[in-house]
């Protein structure tokens, strides 16, 4: 997959990893919580869609 700028997922992951490495410990915890919440929300909405059928 590529985004609009033509960067592949690998490039995006490297950028994200660099960003995370520059964060403080508290910022990293919050970043992880946000990502987990986003994934959980996505899963919840997918489950809701499946259970409708």
Average pLDDT over residues 32-46: 94
Average pLDDT over residues 37-48: 93
Domain boundaries, the chain: 25-52
Would residue 7 be called left, alpha or beta, if left means φ above 0 and alpha means ψ between -120 and 50 degrees? beta
Instruction: Name residues whose C-beta falls within 8 Å of residue 1's C-beta, 6 or more positions apart in sequence.
Output: 8, 9
Q: Residue 17: pLDDT band by 50, 70, 90 thresholds?
A: confident
Please give the model's pTM, rounded to 2 decimal places. Answer: 0.51
**Averaged pLDDT score across all residues of the chain:** 79
Q: Residue 19: pLDDT band by 50, 70, 90 thresholds?
A: confident
């Amino acid at each position: 997959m590529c985004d609009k700028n033509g960067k592949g997922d690998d490039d995006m992951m490297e950028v994200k990893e660099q960003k995370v490495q520059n964060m403080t410990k508290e910022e990293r915890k919050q970043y992880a919580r946000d990502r987990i919440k986003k994934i959980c929300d996505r899963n919840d909405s997918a489950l809701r869609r499946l259970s409708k059928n």
